[in-house]
Amino acid sequence: MKLNPQTIKKLQRFRSIRRGYYSLVIFCLMVILSLGAELLVNSRALVVRYQGKTYFPTYAQVIPGRTFGLDYDYETNYRQLAERFCKAGRGDWVLMPPVPWNPYENDLRLDRYPPFPPSIRDRHYLGTDTMGRDIVARLVYGFRIAIFFALALLAVNFSIGVSIGSAMGYWGGRFDLVFQRIIEIWSNVPFLYVIIIISSIVVPSFFMLIVIMALFGWIGITWTIRTTAYKERAREYVLAARAMGASDMRIIFRHIIPNTMAIIVTFAPFAVSGGIVALTSLDYLGFGLPPPTPSWGELLQQGWANLEAWWIVASVIGAMVVTLLTVTFIGEAVREAFDPRMYTIYE
Amino acid sequence: MSTMGKHLQRLALWLFTVLAVSGVLAAGAEKLPDDIEWLTNDSDPVYASPQAVRGGTLHLALLSFPLTFRVVGPDSNSSFRSAILGNQLSLIGIHPNTENIVPELATHWAFGKDKKTMYFKLNPKARWSDGHPVTAGDFAYTLTFMRSKKIIAPWYNDYYSKEIDRVIVYDDHTLAVVSTKAQPDLHLKLGISPTPRHFYKKLGDDFVRRYNWKIAPNTGPYQMGKFRKGKYIFFNRKKDWWAADLRYFKHRFNVDRVKYTVIRDINIQWEYFKKARLDVFGLTMPKYWHEKTKTAVFRKGYVNRIWFFNDTQQPSLGLWLNMDRDIFKDRNVRYAFAHAMNIKKVIEEVLRNDYFRLENGYVGYGPYSNTKIRARRFDLKKVEYYMKKAGWHRGPDGIWTKNGRRFSVEVTYSFEGHTPRLVVLKEEARKAGIELRLQKLDPSAAYKKVLEKKHDVAWMGWSTSLRPHFWEHFHSVNAHKPQTNNITNTDDPEMDRLIDAYRNSLDEKERIALSRKIQQRIHEIGAYVPTFMVPYVRQAYWRWWRLPKPPGTRHSDDLFAPFNSATGGLFWFDRQRYEETMAARKAGRTFPPVTIIDRTYQRKPANP
């Protein structure tokens, strides 16, 4: 792929902004790690060696306990299996992920009641929540859901917002006027209430939540793109394209949008952090994804209700601060890199 | 849920006793039959303590100020209503330990031969709080009042028209109440309470507004006094209450005043309680009993804890399977589902062994309960047996499948606090090869969904009444249609036969036998999986409050209920202890901590 020299320049400039660049590296690392979360945080073993045969349960189907000589038909408890093999000493072994818990299982005990504080011995590195579920596992899987939720929401919002915004700016006139009024009315619908009402009637799934939130989320970017498109349409290159007989569609998507890319890219990271916060707040209020989906909002709610179990609230707030900070740093760096007025001095 | 259930139960009781009422009939037109046998009850054991002394103020909290002081009409159905109704006596009451009839406003009663009528002789001493005597006309007026369209209370309009035929006034102190149909346990329905005719006079179109904040005369031990809207309400004990020396009211209703303060958050109420600005606090929730009471006022013995087991009707909490769903049409699958619910684990590891397994939906109804039934226990072998019998096999993900369909069902519930229980059930059910999809809805949305029969499995409970009701929940008349309480869509000819016989029988022994058979049949059908019961009440109280021995009655759900003619007002204020405690707090002296566990009325499981 050949990048245009302008873009290369921007990328170089982005790289030179250390804080933003490293934030991007960290952020990408987190996303990649979360994609492979099953290998790091999981109750299924990575590898089981049993009677000369090797099993890789992580992505496979359920292996019932009987396969390994246990007396039950439901899924093997690999932590117990590991101990058993260790004691038996017959050369069988189990390799567990670093955090041997999945985000759904309840580690309950007869003599004590959760939440349990962090413990290296139990391998609950950040403790458990009020239902005995491992907080690391909940955080990691919750992060994966939140980040992909935010990215998907971003994609939907921006495709709608950018298309409508540039159409409004490009065509102007009556279309613009009518759409402006529609947006004004639409943006006055109290969005949070609508979500609360909808999700109290039906339990929203991941995709439904995106649809509901996109219903109201496209407005912000539309205004910005509309203004830019207005400006762009008066430029000579648009006139030239039109003179050559290009259709409106082609002009908008081939000429105007690429030229507003800087704006779109600048807004994206902030939209991502907005998406994460939105999902977290909905979950916090109990109107987000249905339990027992791992969710930061739910953890936050638990932490608030159980302040004495400080590890819950500390973990989730720590995780949120790190994530939102990296995303914001990336955003700032992008904005700076894409700012054409490199040496402008504001007075 | 449980407290709400109990609350509803109390309301239901009140509905029967207080609100039932009146067809007016011209007095004098009829003659009292002379072959009736007058009954009374002056021999059942009393349950108040003779050591009780008068005095003191009980401070209680309200979460919100009532929207009105009316007890009928719009916005009247708040929890505060029970405080007002608790001071409104009926013709007769029910002894909370023996369940026999006891006198309240009536001294004597009699049953008519037609099985539809009850006769009552009023206590001539009975007075309204404004000094007017209570007369038979006040009961006739209850019917007029409750049937009036002006009170904007369609439920009562309907109940007092369809259930109670008329009130016959023979003279000022003799009356009869007639039911529209012959039925067993007439006394639960016909012991209506009076309505002060002289107070309401003629009902106008402005009834709702005009009586919003009017304090209606009552016949009970307390009357509402000073109040500030949104802030507090006082109840004052009547100086010379006409019924103070009646056998079952003696030594009761001892505090001079009861002050309800509005404190809008339960956590703030807890702080108020620890500062002795509230006298009593409910500890039924495990978290409060086990964790939150590990604090100074308890350790130093200023505040005592009591765990009181009662033996009262338990709400039918559990999982209700919708048999109109294909998957639950097979009985084997229903049985397997029941065996896949690890209720024991939830009780042990989430509920700290504080809850008990509910064996059947009708526990605590005395002889009407079938105590032989044992709920199906978590048992993987049995799940496998029934599933294989039904022709299912385990799929690659460990979940049972048949013809390409997985055993995956939606569990609809509405209370956030129940999520911890459900996630444990879900994880355990997965071991048994059943996937539960939890669906938490807003309470009204969940209720609607279930009543529309759109659920797979409903996680809920029905409130109780004095006798078991089956028709609403299990008769085929109510199956396969929306807005009925037959949420399992039970449609079973044998069941219908039993329920019809139960409803038509006027013979107590036969009804008891039928009731037990019906419960057995419910168990056999297996569309209801009972879960928990909370057969007790737990409370914390400052040590200057004293309770009788035993501290409550079989049906007590609140040991510090200041009102309620059956179970309320048993406690008293010990001034000497109060001063002692206050001095000790100041000086930093302590008392040994006290936790009372009273098992007087605990029912042992029939087959543990």
Residues of B in contact with A132 (CB under 8 A): 349
**Looking at the 3D structure of chain B, how many domains does it have?**
2
The pLDDT value given to residue B232: 96
**Best CA proximity match to B540, nearest among B295, B305, B354:** B305
Asked if pLDDT for residue A338 goes beyond 90, the answer is: no
DSSP letter assigned to residue A255: I
Secondary structure of residue A116 in the 3-state scheme: coil
The DSSP annotation for B271-324 comes to HHHHTTSSSEEE--SHIIIIIIT-SHHHHTTSEEEEEEE---PPP--EEEE-TT
Last residue of a domain, one of B500, B533, B566: B533
Secondary structure of residue B143 in the 3-state scheme: helix
The pLDDT value given to residue A345: 56
* Residue in A61, A110, A200 nearest the CB of B396: A61
Determine the distance in angstroms separating the CA of A291 from the nearest CA of chain B, rounded to an integer: 7
Are B398 and A105 a contacting pair at CB < 8 A? no
The pLDDT value given to residue A288: 84
Q: A260-307: per-residue pLDDT in tens?
A: 888 888 888 989 999 999 899 888 887 888 888 899 999 998 888 787
Asked if pLDDT for residue A121 goes beyond 90, the answer is: no
* Residue in B352, B380, B394 nearest the CB of A113: B352
Secondary structure of residue A45 in the 3-state scheme: coil
Please report whether residue B604 resides in a domain: no
The pLDDT value given to residue B582: 95
> For B151-265, where are the alpha helices, taking DSSP H only?
154-162, 186-190, 197-200, 207-210
Q: Are residues A67 and A155 in the same domain?
A: no
**Looking at the 3D structure of chain A, how many domains does it have?**
2
Q: Are residues A9 and A156 in the same domain?
A: yes
Please report whether residue B245 resides in a domain: no
Please report whether residue B603 resides in a domain: no
Q: Are residues B82 and B216 in the same domain?
A: yes
Q: Are residues A22 and A162 in the same domain?
A: yes
Please report whether residue A82 resides in a domain: yes
Secondary structure of residue A94 in the 3-state scheme: strand
Phi first, then psi: what are they for B213, rounded to 5°?
-120, 20
Pairing label, strands B536-542, B545-546: unpaired
Determine the distance in angstroms separating the CA of A101 from the nearest CA of chain B, rounded to an integer: 13
The pLDDT value given to residue B25: 41
pLDDT means over runs of 10, chain B (608 residues): 44 43 46 89 94 95 91 85 93 93 95 92 95 95 94 90 93 94 89 94 90 94 95 95 94 96 88 94 88 90 95 93 94 96 91 90 92 94 95 91 93 86 92 91 82 92 88 92 90 95 90 96 96 94 95 93 93 96 94 94 64
The pLDDT value given to residue B332: 96
**Best CA proximity match to B193, nearest among B380, B1, B17, B24:** B17
Which domain covers residue B425, as residue numbers? 318-533
Task: Give me A26's structure tokens.
Answer: 């960290």
Distance set, CA B236 to CA B220, B222, B223 (Å): 11, 5, 6
Chain A's closest residue to B454, CA to CA, is: A202
Residues of A in contact with B381 (CB under 8 A): none
Are B423 and A200 a contacting pair at CB < 8 A? no
Q: Are residues A197 and A328 in the same domain?
A: yes
Please report whether residue A51 resides in a domain: yes
Residues of B in contact with A110 (CB under 8 A): 348-349
B114: exposed, middle or buried (Cβ count in 10 Å: 0-12, 13-18, 19+): exposed
Please report whether residue B455 resides in a domain: yes
The pLDDT value given to residue A340: 67
Signed CA dihedral, A68, A70, A72, A75: sign only: negative
> For B432-566, where are the alpha helices, taking DSSP H only?
443-451, 471-474, 493-504, 508-525
CA distance A46 to A38: 9
**Strands of the B303-309 sheet, one edge to the other:** B280-282, B536-542, B303-309, B595-598
**One-letter identity of residue B189:** K
Q: Are residues A68 and A157 in the same domain?
A: no
* Residue in A73, A132, A291 nearest the CB of B440: A291
Residues of A in contact with B397 (CB under 8 A): 61-62
Residues of B in contact with A130 (CB under 8 A): 420
pTM of the model: 0.78
Chain A's closest residue to B447, CA to CA, is: A201
Q: Are residues A164 and A279 in the same domain?
A: yes
Distance set, CA B399 to CA A43, A73, B393 (Å): 18, 11, 8
Secondary structure of residue A3 in the 3-state scheme: coil
Q: In terms of pLDDT, which residue wins out, B228 or A121?
A: B228
Residues belonging to chain A with any Cβ–Cβ distance to chain B shorter than 8 Å? 61-62, 64, 72-75, 104-106, 108-110, 113, 130-133, 200-201, 203, 286, 290-292
Phi first, then psi: what are they for B484, rounded to 5°?
-125, 165
Max Cα distance, chain A (Å): 83
In B34-74, the DSSP E strands lie at 57-62
Q: Are residues B470 and B360 in the same domain?
A: yes
The pLDDT value given to residue B35: 85
The pLDDT value given to residue B607: 42
The pLDDT value given to residue B10: 47
Q: Is the peptide bond before A292 cis (omega within 30 degrees of 0)?
A: yes
Q: Can you give the CATH number for the domain in which B381 is found?
A: 3.10.105.10
Which domain covers residue A70, as residue numbers? 43-96
Task: Give me B493's structure tokens.
Answer: 């000819």
Q: Are residues B336 and B215 in the same domain?
A: no
Phi first, then psi: what are they for A304, rounded to 5°?
-65, -40
